[in-house]
Amino acid sequence: MPTPTLPAPELQFIDSHAAVEPDVATQLRAYRLMRTADELARLYEENKAVTAKYVHATARGHEAIQLAAAFHLSAADYAAPYYRDDAMLLGLGITPYELMLQLMAKRDDPFSGGRTYYCHPSLRRAGFPVIPHQSSATGMQAIPATGMAHGLKYLESQGIVNSELGILNSELETPVSENLIQNSEFKIQNSVVVCSIGDGAMTEGEVSEALQMAVLHQLPIIYLVQDNEWGISATGREMRAMDAYEFAAGFKGLQRLRVNGADFADSYAGLAAAFEYVRRTRGPILVHARCPLLGHHTSGVRREWYRGDDLAAHTTLDPLPRLHQQLLDLGVSEEELQQLGQEARALVEADYQRALAAPNPDPATFADHEFAPPAVTEEAGERSPAGADKALLVDAALHAVDDILREFPEALFYGQDVGGELGGVFREAALLAKKYGDARVFNTPIQEAYIVGSTAGMSAVGAKPIVEIQFADYIWPALNQLVEELSKSCYLSNGQFPVQALIRVPIGAYGGGGPYHSGSIESTLLTIRGIKVVYPSNAADMKGLMRAAFLDPNPVVMLEHKGLYWSKVPGTEDAKTVEPAAGYVIPLGQAAIAQSADAEKLRQGETCAVITYGMGVHWAKTASKQFPGQVEILDLRTLNPLDFEAVQGAVRRHGKALVLTEEPLMNSFAESLAGRIQRTCFQQLDAPVFTLGAANLPAIALNVELEKQMLPSAEKVAAALAELLGY
C-alpha cells in the first residue's frame, strides 16, 4: 500500500491571523503528552494479559491532532471524543491513572464507575469541557454532538445561556459575574462543540443527517475527522468513494479545512483557525486530518493480523519523532526532551501500579442509575376544575405543550411538519410555531434518527426538547439513537448524564390508515431498558402525563392513539374529558381504575379484571356493558415503569383477569405481563390469565374490513369476557 499523503493546511476561508502557530512552551507541553500517550500504548502492550482483559484502543499516530484539539477546548466548550482519543483526554488534563481506572473497569473510574470501555468518557468537572456520554462513536455520535450545538444556539438566541461564559444564566447568582469575566479561564466567548470521528464512520447515514442539520441551522460545531485510511481491516479504498473532506463539499454552508494530522504545528494552526471561525460565525466546519495508524485497531483486532507492509509506511509519519526533531531545531536540548520522556514513563508506571491496586466496583451497585430520580412523585393540580369544558385528547395534548413552552423558556418542540402553518399532521401542534417562533417550534427534514438522537445533546447543554415522530411506523430509523445514545446514557455515565427527552409518537390503527400508519410498537420499546413508555387513554390523563413526562429527567416516549384524538371512533366518547387546569400532573408509573366492579358481585365471585391501556380501555368499557357490574378495568397509563402492584391488586381482588392489547399478541408485552401475573398471583387465580390482541400478522391491511378482522374490538372483548367469567 502506498504511503498516505498528508496535505498542508488550507486556510483560505479565514483571515490569516487566525492560524496561530504554537509557541515553544505549547510544543513542549504537546511533546510531554505525546510521550505519555506513547508510554501508555507501550505499557498496555507489554502487560496485555492484564490490560487487554477489556477491549481498548490507543491514539498512536493520532496524538498530534488530538492534542491540538484539546489545547483549543475551553471549560465553556463541549466535546464528543471517540474511542481512540486518549491523547485528547490527556491534553484536557485527564491523568493516566484516571484512564487506567476505566481501562481496568475499576470503581473510581471517573467516567462510568467501571461500566464502559476505555476512552469512553462522560465528564462534568470544573475547568474542563463538558463531555456527555456517547456510544462507541462509530458515526452515531455525530447526531447527539450536533444536538448539543443546536441546543446551545437555541439557548443563546433566547438569552438563556450567557455567551461570555457558556453556561446557563440560571446557574449564576447574577446573569453576568464580573469576577468570572475578568478571570482568564472564562475569557473564551461563544461555546463550541467538537465532534471527533474516524473517517470510516463518516459513511454512516446518521452522519449525513447531522451535517444536514448543522448547515440548515448554522450550528457552532467542529467535526474533527481523523483519517488513518483504515476501518478495522477494511481500507479506505474499499469503504468510500471519497474522503470526508470531499464528501463535505456536498453540504452547502459547511466550511472545510484540511490539516496534516501527523504534524502538531500544522494541526494546532489549523484548529486555531477552525475554533476562531466557529466562535465568530457560529457556523459549522469540518476539519479533515490525515493521520497514520501505528497501533492496533483495538486490543482485540491486532495489527499483525491484517496490516502487512502498510504499517512500515505509516511508521514514517509518526508524529512523535517529527515533533522531537522540530523541538531540536528550535533549540531545545536532547537532554531536556529525554528528561520529559523519562518523566512520562515514570508517571505511567506509577499510575499503572496504583490502578492495579484500586478497588473494583461494589457488586451491590450493579443496578444503580438505570434512571435518574423522577421529578414528579405525586398527583398535583386540578384534574376537573369547576366550569371547565370537556376537551378532546388531541387538544389536551396541544394545550399541555403550550403550557410547557410558556412556562419553560428552555423547552423547544420539533419534528416533521410540527412547525410552520400546519402544526402537525393531526394539528396537535397547531399555531405553536406562530406563537413561540421558528427557533422554538420548527420542522425537521425526514430524519427520525436526528429527531430522537439530538435530544441527548440538547439535554446535555440544558435545553429541554419535546420531539415528535410522525407515526409509530416511522420510529425504526431512530431506534439506533434511542437505544445507544439515550437509553444507556444515565447508566453508563454512572448517573452523570440522564437524557431529558419527551418523544411524542402517534400510534395505533384508525379508519384504514394502512400498513405504514397503523402499527403498534410498545413491545419493541419495552425491550429497551432505560426509557419510559407512557400511553394515555383520555384527555385528562394526556395532559397530566405529558407534563410529568416533560419534567422527568429521563427519556420518555409518549404513545398517543390516533383513534382517540377526536373521539370519533364509536365507543371512545370517554376519551373526551373535562380538561385539567394548567400545571396538572400525574406521576409516571401509576395505574388508574377506569371502571370499578360492583361490590356485591365482587363478594359473590362473579367479577373479573381487564388490564389494558390506550384503545383497550374503550373496547373493554363497551364490552363490559353486557356484564353490568362484573368488570373492573385497570388502565395502566404507563407501561414502563409498570404499576405492577396495581396489577396484582386487581387480579387478587377478582381471581380472573384478561390482559388486552392492540398489538399482535404473540411474544407481546401483554403475553409477558400475563406470564408475570400467573407467577405471582397463581394461588389467587380462579382461571388462566386470558390474553387478547391483534392477529399475528406483519402489518395492518389497508382495507377497513380487513383491518377490523385483524384488530381486537368490543365484540371480541365481550366474547373473551363471557368465556372468562364463565370459567
Instruction: Please list the active-site residues.
Output: 517
d(CA 588, CA 548): 7
Identity (one letter) of the amino acid at 487? S
Residue showing cell 396537535: 428
Residue showing cell 408485552: 669
Cβ atoms of 555 and 549 within 8 Å: the answer is no
d(CA 660, CA 303): 55
Residue showing cell 388502565: 635
Query: Which residues have C-beta within 8 Å of that of residue 325, sequence separation ≥ 6?
Result: none
> Which three cell numbers mark 355?
490502578
d(CA 173, CA 163): 16
Q: Where does 371-488 have alpha helices with state H?
A: 393-407, 432-436, 448-461, 479-481
d(CA 686, CA 636): 22
Residue showing cell 374503550: 618
State how far the alpha carbon of 330 is from the alpha carbons of 271, 308, 462, 506, in Å: 22, 36, 45, 65
Cβ atoms of 484 and 492 within 8 Å: the answer is no
d(CA 676, CA 511): 34
CA atoms within 13 A on the CB side of 516: 3
Give the dihedral sign, CA 474/252/226/163: negative
Q: What values do phi and psi take at 304, rounded to 5?
A: -70, -15
Residue showing cell 365471585: 605
> Which three cell numbers mark 191?
461555546
Phi-psi region of 520 (alpha: psi -120 to 50; beta: other; left: phi over 0): beta
Query: Is 83 in a helix, a strand, or coil?
Result: coil
Residue showing cell 417562533: 437
Query: Is 314 in a helix, a strand, or coil?
Result: helix
d(CA 238, CA 223): 23
What DSSP state is assigned to residue 629?
A: T
Cβ atoms of 298 and 55 within 8 Å: the answer is yes
> Which three cell numbers mark 218?
448554522
Q: What values do phi and psi take at 443, rounded to 5?
A: -80, 150
By residue count, the chain amounts to 727
Query: Which residues have C-beta within 8 Å of that of residue 603, sequence separation ≥ 6?
Result: none
Query: Is 394 in a helix, a strand, or coil?
Result: helix
d(CA 294, CA 159): 46
* Pairing assessment for the beta strands 577-578 and 221-227 based on DSSP bridges: unpaired
> Which three cell numbers mark 417?
411538519
Sheet strands (E) in 65-110: 78-80
